[in-house]
Amino acid sequence: MAASAEEYAAFEERVRRTVYMDNLSPEVTENVLKAALDQFVNVVNVQFIPNYINPSLPRAALVEMETPNQASAIIAEMADSPFMVLGMPRPVRACAAEVEMFDSRPKKPGRKITYKWLDPEDPDFEVARKVKDLTGKHAAETEFLLNHQLKEEENLANQQLETLKAHHKKYELIDGVLSDNTAKKLADRYRTRLSDA
């Protein structure tokens, strides 16, 4: 059943207020995403888009704001600077949502969709087969690129962890030298003043 013109106009307004965000960590929840965005805009609704092929890959979500201006502002903000969620080394990307992204979209008034089965002798059958093959090829390429990106992000996370451990070890060493009076003894020995600051 087709939606009325008013219902479809309200849906289009909702689309203008919505931002498509991807490259989200699988651990990100609705509350985490709302808390991260609430410092910039007022989030009305978050709808995660399920990845049925590989749930461990980065997630995507449709995030509805109060106004279209807020949606534009968050897209501009995320384009200018990296936006990390949950401290993961995975910058979140944002773009304006499109009508086709909503699974609950109403039928456009006056739009009629027709379809037919193709016979193997039909001239369009070969075109449809090529499109199907190309779609499979694109899916395989996308999965390869996403897996490569995940490996790079994992390497970056490991590198950040090693750097954090090294800094913590230095801090413990300095704290130990200050707490057991070794620094004071060295200052006295070399006749230098040790600042308490």
Does pLDDT of 69 surpass 90? yes
Q: What is the largest CA-CA distance in the chain?
A: 98
Does pLDDT of 196 surpass 60? no
Mean pLDDT of 115-121: 82
Mean pLDDT of 73-84: 81
Reported pTM:
0.62
Q: Where is pLDDT greater, at 89 or 124?
A: 124
* pLDDT at position 85: 67
Mean pLDDT of 112-121: 82
* Nearest-angstrom CA–CA distance, 160 and 139: 31
Query: In the block, which residue shows the tokens 């992204």?
Result: 101
Least confident of 20-24, 41-45, 79-83, 181-185: 79-83
Sheet with 59-65, edge to edge strand ranges: 43-49, 59-65, 18-24, 93-96
Does pLDDT of 170 surpass 80? yes
Does pLDDT of 57 surpass 90? no
Q: Where is pLDDT greater, at 170 or 196?
A: 170
pLDDT confidence bin for 95, thresholds 50/70/90: very high
27: CB partners within 8 A, 6+ apart: 86, 88
111: CB partners within 8 A, 6+ apart: 2
The per-residue b/e assignment along 38-59, b for 16 or more CB within 10 angstroms, e otherwise, is: eeebebeebebeeeeeeeebbb
Least confident of 114-118, 126-130, 139-143, 155-159: 114-118
DSSP state for residue 46 in the 8-state scheme: E
Does pLDDT of 197 surpass 50? no
Q: Where is pLDDT greater, at 58 or 43?
A: 43
Does pLDDT of 90 surpass 70? no
Does pLDDT of 41 surpass 50? yes
Say what percent of the chain tops pLDDT 90: 27
Does pLDDT of 13 surpass 80? yes
* Both tokens assigned to 30: 């609705």
Does pLDDT of 88 surpass 70? no
